[in-house]
Chain A
Amino acid sequence: AQTVTQSQPEMSVQEAETVTLSCTYDTSESNYYLFWYKQPPSRQMILVIRQEAYKQQNATENRFSVNFQKAAKSFSLKISDSQLGDTAMYFCAFTDGTNAGKSTFGDGTTLTVKP
């Protein structure tokens, strides 16, 4: 069974600064996907960024980028130029290569962006 661990329950960052959220996972699979989802207060969860395990290049989406270390089973999220709208709970999730919707989630990191 896969496990996903987010070791930072809460984090805060000043507006316009950079913050990194950590995630480690454990799996014996070779083909898998990793996701970061954002869940704003009382709003639905949305995908922030996605990484295929077979790709060595780290994924980037505008201000969001990942540091994917496959051997270390580490998948951190970097948010650059933090904005107030980034305040949310962030979940790291693992999915095997056959079913993107059936994910194992970490327990989340609550990120607060301070003005």
Chain B
Amino acid sequence: DTGVSQDPRHKITKRGQNVTFRCDPISEHNRLYWYRQTLGQGPEFLTYFQNEAQLEKSRLLSDRFSAERPKGSFSTLEIQRTEQGDSAMYLCASSFRARNTEAFFGQGTRLTVV
């Protein structure tokens, strides 16, 4: 297992288009998290899953954002009708609930909305 994998690494899209990102967590990890990181700031929590259930969503996650984790494995984050303010790095992380020690992060997907 090579760790948390995110795809694509970079995405440029026109304003108003929809985009979807994928995250593959470490295989035995049952918790998966999405964060957003803008330039010069720390990551901000968006949402998390335990297995296939989405247990918490931040107020930052507007109704244009939706996340899924079918079958409790990989997850997707979709942004509809993208806006320039959506430009950011989207980070995925995973952890193992029984070992509440740390989360392991992917390299992120950098979104640029033009």
Binding site for B on A (CB under 8 A): 4, 33, 35, 37, 42-47, 50, 91, 93, 97-108
Stretch at the interface among B12-20, B60-68, B69-77, B87-95: B87-95
Contact B33 A101 (CB under 8 A): yes
Interface centre among A42, A91, A103 (most CB of B within 10 A): A103
B105 contacts the other chain (CB 8 A): yes
With known contacts A91-B43, A105-B42, A98–B107 Cβ distance under 8 A: no
Contact B42 A108 (CB under 8 A): yes
Contact check: which of A35, A43, A91, A106 meets B102 at CB < 8 Å?
A35
- Residue interface bits B89-109, CB-to-A below 8 A is 1, else 0: 001011100001111111110
Chain A binding surface SS class: loop
Chain B binding surface SS class: strand
User: What chain B residues lie within 8 Å of A104 (beta carbons)?
Assistant: 45
Contact A105 B93 (CB under 8 A): no
Interface size for B (C-beta < 8 A) is: 25
Contact A101 B48 (CB under 8 A): yes
Contact A45 B91 (CB under 8 A): yes
Contact B107 A101 (CB under 8 A): no
Q: What are some 7 contacts across the A-B interface (CB < 8 A)?
A: A44-B106, A46-B105, A97-B100, A98-B100, A101-B31, A101-B33, A108-B42
Give min CB distance, A22 to chain B, whole Å: 14
